Amino acid sequence: MERKYFGTDGIRGRVGDGVMTPEFVLKLGWAVGRILCSENNNLVLIGKDTRISGYMFESVLEAGLSAAGVNARLLGPMPTPAVAYLTRTLRAAAGIVISASHNPYYDNGVKFFTSEGKKLPDSIELEIEKQLDQPLEVVASDKLGKVERITDAAGRYIEFCKSTIPTRIKLNGLKIVLDCAHGATYHIAPNVFSELGAEVVSLSSKPNGLNINDHCGATDPKALRMAVIEHHADLGIAIDGDGDRLIMVDDTGAIVDGDELLYVIAQARKSENNLHGGVVGTLMSNLGLEHALRAQDIEFGRAAVGDRYVMEMLKERSWLIGGESSGHIICLDRTTTGDAIISALQVLQVLVNQQVSLRDAKSGMSKYPQILINVPVQAKIDLENTPQIQQAVKDAESDLADSGRVLLRPSGTEPLVRVMVEGVDAPKVQQLAQQIADSVAAAC
């Protein structure tokens, strides 16, 4: 069945429009309480990022859960992966995060975790959607849910993050510039790295409700790059607004993306006989990652774009490490979901163990030139059964041979076809991408 409200990562939209209204989110809280909670466990945790609308949605979620007879515990500003961890350790029936991740402040969303700290399966999301179509019924007054605040949530999560690397690992002598995107990690990430011994220079750690992800964080690391050079730092760490996406910067100011970070973690684990399988990327992962892992005799699988699909393939293959170029990195032997702080610690552990810089650690992987062209389309187009498009793709693949690849996919959110070509020869990659894009445009 097709979902009406849920996207690839919960429910998201512009505040005040569509689903992101107080009325809808109140009923969503009620529906979630009805589906995910039981008499044996009627506790739900609520965390949020630093958007100004988080206060409003937190209040209506409380009301909806209470109407369903569910008790809520408020965590305040808290990274998405922290809510997953606390849901599991506090034995809650579910965790709720009010966040639109890397989007601007005027968007917001709601996403959920099971009692095990994992994202909801499609079947449960469909049950919640069915419940949303039912009239809201309030339980008897003596059964209404209660709300309390957990005051030590940040401290609990800080200690958990530190526990994901061996106690012998210290970051003494490392100077790190840290960009928290004015988001949910602003009061957590600086403490994690400084308590492990690093000298931390903090950027974008003063949220005001409106500045989350505003020219900062993992989606815009320009300021971080300049600060690393200005402060003569060893590296930089950029986190997105809700704390699940990581981009790093080496000592020269060069960006180190999710593909390169996956390589750093995987090659180190392979050398320690601690990889336990292969690595999962996505259809958009750079071919250079695949070739670099192959050179280390590490298997590589490509999932559909989206961290939930990476997670699905990891489970199918019983592997532990996966992620996306954008910086969603999953280490299933450390936690249950993508976590920027924990992923950064895995990289820093490699640097300390191998006594190398981030620049040296990533040097075994060379990224191939990759061109992405978004072609506007008027209506849905059948890419596989349009002869001129398939011929253009076939010609490009023949030209690239084993030194590149072609990917066409319709956007899931916009009227666009995304044309991606990558290969060793940058001018050829640009030429072939434009030829395919022209054939798509002509077919429309």
User: CA 435, 396, 290, 311 torsion: positive or negative?
Assistant: positive
Q: Name the active-site residue from 101, 204, 325, 326.
A: 101
SS3 call for 147 = strand
Torsion angle of the four alpha carbons 216, 217, 221, 226, in this order, in degrees rounded to the nearest 10? 70
Helices (H), 37-152: 54-67, 80-89, 122-132
Euclidean distance between CA atoms 439 and 392, whole angstroms: 7
In the numeric block, which tokens belong to residue 209? 């409700």
Q: Are 124 and 35 in contact (CB under 8 A)?
A: yes
Euclidean distance between CA atoms 48 and 242, whole angstroms: 8
Q: Are 221 and 179 in contact (CB under 8 A)?
A: yes
User: In whole angstroms, how far apart are CA 66 and each of 71, 74, 167?
Assistant: 6, 13, 42
> Catalytic: 101?
yes
Quick one: which of 263, 229, 239 has its CA closest to 190? 239
* Cα angle for residues 18, 24, 28 (degrees, 5° grid): 125
The backbone region for 117, taken as left when phi is positive above 0, alpha when psi lies in -120 to 50, beta otherwise, is left
Quick one: which of 442, 320, 339, 352 has its CA closest to 392? 442
Bridge partner list, 98: 48, 110
Catalytic residue IDs: 101
